[in-house]
Each structure stands twice: as C-alpha cells, then as structure tokens.
Amino acid sequence: MSETGDIIVGIDLGTTFSLVAYADERGPRVLTDEQGEARLPSVLGFGEDGRVTIGWEARRKAVENPEHTICSIKRLIGLGMDDLRSELPFLSYHVVKGERDTVQVNIDGRLMSPQEISSIILRELKQRAERHFGRSVNKAVITVPAYFDDSQRQATRDAGRIAGLEVVRVINEPTAAALAYGIGARGTAEKPAKGRSVSLVVGDKTKCAGVGSSAMEAPAENSTLVVFDLGGGTFDVSILQLTDGTFEVLSTSGDTHLGGDDWDRRIITLVQDEVRAEFKVDIDSPATRQALRLLAEQVKIRLSTEQNAQIELDLGSGRTYRRTIDRSEFERLTADLVERTTSACERARRDAGLTNADLHQIVLVGGSTRMPMVRRRVEEFFERKPYTALNPDEVVALGAAVQAQILSGGRTDALLLDVTPLSLGIETMGGAMGKLILRNTRIPCRVVEQFTTFVDGQANVKINVLQGERELAADCRSLATFDLRGIPPMPAGIPKIAVEFLIDANGILNVSAREERSGANATVQVIPSHGLTQEEVRRIEQESIDHAREDMTAHRLIDLRNQVEFDTHKTEQTLARFGHLLSGGERAALERSMVELRRMAKESSDANALHQALDRFGKSTEMLANLAITEALREAPASNSEVSAGLETG
C-alpha cells in the first residue's frame, strides 16, 4: 500500500457473517475486530433507546429481542413481496411492502429498506478497516452470489453507497473464492472442533502425502475447477478455467434462496410440528422464531461432527419437549435440498460443455459445505474428492481483497473474466421474453436493438427489461422499465431508436438510446422494479450523512460532558489541598465558574459553546495549577519520591 494511494478493501457481505479483507504484496488477509475475530455476524439489533447494536452483541441478544433483531437480510435484498412468499413465515421481524415492488423492514414503525440495513453492516466493516489503517477507507470491492440478478447486484451496490463506500466492483463469490484459491491463499486454518481430534491439515503437502487423495493437492497452475459455494442463504456453482493467471468463468448456476438457513428451517418445522402434536402449543410466533433458529443452527452444526444431537425445549408450566435427532434422520429431512444443489451443478457442467473427466478440482466454499451430506453428494456427483483445505468462511473475502488489489494496479499477474448468470431480454408484443443476451455470456457484453414508435408524434417508448430463462415475460423477473424520452416527433414507425444494452464487468446493466435518423440521444429514465431509484439512494445517502453528523455531535457532547466532570472534579481536589494558597476572592471566583460550567454541561446541548466554556475554565485554573505544582515540588523530596522521580525522567 502506498501511503497516498486509495485503500480498496474487499468485503464479503454474507447472509450469516460478513468479513473485510485487504491484500498487499504480502498477500491477502482478513481484518479482525478487537477480539481477533474476523467474522462479523450480519445481524442488527434495534434497542428501545434507539441504539443499534451490530454483530456478535446483536446475535447474543437476538433471543430476548426477536422482533428488533434483523438477520439474513441478504435473502431480502433487491427482491419484491412476491419473491419472498416462502421466506416471510420464517422471519422474526416484520416486512411490509414498499414503493413499487420493493420490501421494507418495519422496526416499531421505522421503515428501513434492506439496502439501508445492509449499509449498517458495511459501515461497521468500513470502520473496522479504518481503525486498522488509521485513516479513512472509502472504496471497496463487494462480493455477491454469482446467481444474483441485476436488481440484487444494484441493491448491494446501493447499500455500499449508503454506507459511504464507492463500490469499485461487485464480484461473484465463487469467482472471488477461485481467485484466492488460484493464487494460493487459503485463509486461517480452521480450529479443531471442540472435544474431538478432528484436525484439518492445510497447506502442508508432506503431511497429506499419506492421505493419497486428490483433495489435498495444491492448486494446479493451469486447470479447470468447480467452485461449489453453499453459504448461509445462497448457493452458487461456477466452473472456471485457470490459465497463466487468467481466471475464465465458463459457466455459473445456483439458487439465491438455498443455504444453511434452509437446513435450519427443516429442523424448526420438525420441532414446531411435534410440539403442536404433543402439547397442542403453537410455537410459531415471531418471538420464538429467533430462539428456534439458534437452536436449529446449533443442532445442525453438531450433526456435522456427531452422529446425534439432543433437542430440549422448555415450554413453561412444567412441560418440556425432548427428543434426539440423529444424522441420518436430519439427512432424510433435507435430502431434497442437497438435490437442488446437484441439479444446478448439472446445468453448470452442461453449459460449460464439459464432463467430469475435464474437471480437475472441486473447491468447497461457504460454511454449509461443512455438512457431511453435502461433501458426500458433491463427491458422488463429480466423481472426485472435493478440496476442503480452504477456510470456507474467509476465502471469499480474501478473493475480494485480491480483486481490489488488481483494480488498484497493485497486482498484474491475475485477471478475472466472468459471465452473466441469467439471460437478459425484453418483453415483446404478446408478452413473450425476447432474449438479447444469453446466460453464461462473458461480460462485459453489449447488444444493440432497434425500436420504433406506434403512434404519430410519439415522444417516448417504454421498454420492460427482463432477466430469466423462461419463455413468457410474466415468468421472468422484470428488472426495470426503461422509459426512452425525447424522441423527435415523427410519423409512426419512422424513428429508428437504437437501444444499447451493455452489461459491465460488475454484471450490471447499463442502457442508453439514440434516435438514429435525427441523431438525438434519448434520455433513459430507469424505474427499477425491485430496487431504489437514483434519487432514493441519494436521499438515503444524504440522510445517513446527516445522521452521521448528528451522531458525531452527540458523541462530542458526551465526550465534552465527561471532560467537564473530570476537570471540575480534579479542580475540587486541588482546591481542597492547595486552596489556601489562593486569596479569598480568587477562590470564590473559581468555585463560581465551576458551578457555572457544571450547570452548562447539564443543560446545554451546544457542543461548541461548551467547548469554549471548558477552555475558559481551563485557563482560569492555570494559576491554581501552577501554585499547586510549586507547592508539590517543595514537598516532594521529603514526602513524595515518586514525583521527583517523575520529574527527573520527564
């Protein structure tokens, strides 16, 4: 890092955990909090006093504060009410419909978009990085699931902007993981599970030689690899070809609503059903959801290392629900979820035009790949032992940091060439989906389509832009309506409007239009179907800056009040000891100004005025302070050797 250059950090904004990392010539590394923890739970708690808690603290308080705790917000970002039908019954917080087809979280009447909520997590990571570097950090590469559509990508970028970050690039999580893997970064070694001697040996080939499996091979220089990324809420699979530092994504597939959360939910549903049957008690209130969620998560994690787990639930009035669940039962309950991952793998493999024999390595990423059932199925499907030596929690953030390093010009030996995960098209006459760009097309990519008018003098044309693989527009997702305005008046069918659809390296669509007969550039107004408009983002960004200022004023006031408390207390002590050195008038004046300052600190909220008053008070105590020092020095040799010692060295 050059001292003057901009710092660009890499951020993995995860469903369950988020991380921030940075890469320099020594390689990429995750930045940790004061406790040495790299993972920040993507959880927010809203206290009654308006205080927002983030991360571990919010996670700890989730059970007692369920309706004010927001987790897994990533499953909501960039989506509409209809997309979330199956999601809502499992949320402990309240979600309401927002503008257009957007959703908002309702926290005691305060409405917040998923973008704003995500921005709070991003801001926390930004501040962590700032503490680490001792200067401001304003730029980031943020990762998204490869299968995120345009709205979800835009929404993630907007969240960054609200957090005060310029998102210099949005990159796909499996691609980031491949980048980290490809340059040989593995992340921190996993700690062995408690009470068991499961030790994962990473990065030491000599020790692995005896294993004799392909799973521990070092990354091959030129190879074809599969990244299987099963996180807390999303699943991606990407197939990449590595050649001399160029990472070419051949295909990608996935499911943005498939992750560890879904495994948890099977346990939740099981417990709820059994409790209902046995005790005639319904435990499906928002208040119990958080508790059940944490319980289910613990059971799931335990079943990754143990054959069975105990579930015990105190239902009150002496009733206790108790049962044991063993691994095979859990695996039966969730078998269809694993199958959903394999059908995505099948599609990715087919789109890449490859067979298992062409694939050299299967890399596992994401915390949910710790489940034995997942590892087993992946091995079965690809007929190869997966590579498990990466830290599945950290590798995506590390890859993002490497990409940040590439973008800042600090690394020239690697280049990512990614693809767009979904086909892009427009709604044609009769409600069909007219595909313009097919899925798995390399980005950046560009298509120009001609449009014309239907009515004489028509000045604008609306285009509904879709993403998806289905034939009918209604079955695809509408990204936005593009309203082309400023078409010069001409008879119907005469204007030739060339509309350029350009997907950039972020996988985000840019649209521009030009009437070719007149050469006039049409203005394109974008009305996002599931996201925020430019104006909305700007407004929220401004509000958050204003809030930050308010917060800062509040902070400063608190600091100043503490200072007043401290200074006046100290002066009182000095007065008690050395007050006799002052004249009666001087002493009374000092006591009066002390009372005045304390009153002001209590009553006024004008930080600047208080600051000035504190300064004045400081000056007025100078005489007393000088007298006290002289007196102390005179006393020192006899009564206080520490003071004299201090004076000598100081």
Partner 1 sequence: MESWALSLHTAQVDAATPATAACPHCAALRSGLQPGADWQALLAHLATADYFEIFGLPPAFDVDEKQLAAVQRAIHRNIHPDRLPRGDEAAQAFALRASAIINQAFAALKDPVLRAEYLLARSGGKSASDDKQVPQGLLPQVMMIREELEEARASGDADTLARIKAGAVARRDETGGVIAGLCRELQSHGADMDTVRDALRMQLNAMKYHSNLVHELESSAAAKS
Catalytic site includes residue 173: yes
Among 409, 430, 585, 650, binds partner 1 (CB under 8 A): 409
Q: How far, in Å, are 33, 100, 236 from residue 257 at the CA level? A: 29, 22, 10
Catalytic site includes residue 483: no
| 154: exposed, middle or buried (Cβ count in 10 Å: 0-12, 13-18, 19+) | buried
Using CB under 8 A as the binding criterion, the count of chain residues that bind partner 1 stands at 27
Catalytic site includes residue 12: yes
Tokens of 646: 């201090």
Q: Which of the ranges 10-18, 194-202, 424-432, 441-449 carries the binding residues for partner 1, by CB under 8 A?
A: 441-449
Among 319, 350, 539, 634, binds partner 1 (CB under 8 A): 350
| Shortest separation between residue 79's beta carbon and partner 1, angstroms | 25
Tokens of 464: 């509904």
User: Are 152 and 114 within 8 A, CB to CB?
Assistant: no
User: Are 493 and 165 within 8 A, CB to CB?
Assistant: no
Residues 232-261 that bind partner 1 (CB under 8 A): 243-244, 246, 248
Q: Which is nearer to partner 1, 243 or 641 (CB)?
A: 243
User: Are 398 and 10 within 8 A, CB to CB?
Assistant: yes
| Shortest separation between residue 592's beta carbon and partner 1, angstroms | 59
Q: What is the largest CA-CA distance in the chain?
A: 106
Write down the catalytic residue from 116, 149, 229, 264. Answer: 229
- Containing 601, the helix (H) or strand (E) segment is helix 584-603
| Shortest separation between residue 354's beta carbon and partner 1, angstroms | 13
| Shortest separation between residue 22's beta carbon and partner 1, angstroms | 17
Q: Which is nearer to partner 1, 244 or 603 (CB)?
A: 244
Is 356 among the residues that bind partner 1 (CB under 8 A)? Answer: no
Catalytic site includes residue 435: no
Q: Which is nearer to partner 1, 84 or 505 (CB)?
A: 505
Among 342, 481, 553, 604, binds partner 1 (CB under 8 A): 342
Q: Which is nearer to partner 1, 117 or 167 (CB)?
A: 167
Q: Which is nearer to partner 1, 347 or 561 (CB)?
A: 347
Write down the catalytic residue from 158, 173, 255, 264. Answer: 173
Contacts for 8 with CB less than 8 Å, ≥ 6 apart: 139, 140, 141, 168, 404, 405, 407, 408
Tokens of 479: 């990204």
3-class state of residue 309 by DSSP: strand
Q: Which of the ranges 92-100, 408-416, 451-459, 554-562 carries the binding residues for partner 1, by CB under 8 A?
A: 408-416
Which residue pairs from 93-96 have beta carbons closer than 8 angstroms and sit at least 24 positions apart in sequence? 93/66, 93/67, 93/68, 93/69, 93/286, 94/67, 94/286
- Dump the DSSP string for 146-167: TT--HHHHHHHHHHHHHTT-EE
User: Are 115 and 540 within 8 A, CB to CB?
Assistant: yes
| Shortest separation between residue 620's beta carbon and partner 1, angstroms | 52
Q: Which is nearer to partner 1, 203 or 444 (CB)?
A: 444
Q: Which of the ranges 189-197, 342-350, 552-560, 598-606 carries the binding residues for partner 1, by CB under 8 A?
A: 342-350
Contacts for 342 with CB less than 8 Å, ≥ 6 apart: 377, 381
Tokens of 123: 């801001």
Say how far residue 133 (Cα) sits from the centre of its chain: 20
| Shortest separation between residue 610's beta carbon and partner 1, angstroms | 42
Is 1 among the residues that bind partner 1 (CB under 8 A)? Answer: no
| Shortest separation between residue 368's beta carbon and partner 1, angstroms | 22
| Shortest separation between residue 400's beta carbon and partner 1, angstroms | 13
Among 312, 314, 346, 543, binds partner 1 (CB under 8 A): 346
One-letter identity of residue 590: L
User: Are 7 and 133 within 8 A, CB to CB?
Assistant: yes
Contacts for 203 with CB less than 8 Å, ≥ 6 apart: 186, 189, 389
User: Are 257 and 233 within 8 A, CB to CB?
Assistant: yes
Write down the catalytic residue from 74, 139, 300, 435. Answer: 74
Q: Which of the ranges 75-83, 436-444, 577-585, 608-616 carries the binding residues for partner 1, by CB under 8 A?
A: 436-444
Is 508 among the residues that bind partner 1 (CB under 8 A)? Answer: no
Q: Which is nearer to partner 1, 162 or 443 (CB)?
A: 443
CA angle 33, 39, 40 (to 5 degrees): 75
Strands 246-255 and 415-417: parallel
Is 485 among the residues that bind partner 1 (CB under 8 A)? Answer: no
Among 197, 412, 583, 639, binds partner 1 (CB under 8 A): 412
Strands 166-172 and 319-326: unpaired
Is 408 among the residues that bind partner 1 (CB under 8 A)? Answer: yes
Q: Which is nearer to partner 1, 7 or 168 (CB)?
A: 168
| Shortest separation between residue 538's beta carbon and partner 1, angstroms | 21
Q: Which is nearer to partner 1, 342 or 563 (CB)?
A: 342
Q: Which of the ranges 90-98, 444-452, 518-526, 568-576 carries the binding residues for partner 1, by CB under 8 A?
A: 444-452
| Helix pair 622-639, 641-649: axis angle to 10 deg | 110
Q: Which residues are near partner 1 by CB under 8 A?
A: 168, 243-244, 246, 248, 342-343, 346-347, 350, 406-409, 412, 415-417, 441-446, 502, 504-505
Which residues form the catalytic set? Answer: 12, 74, 173, 229
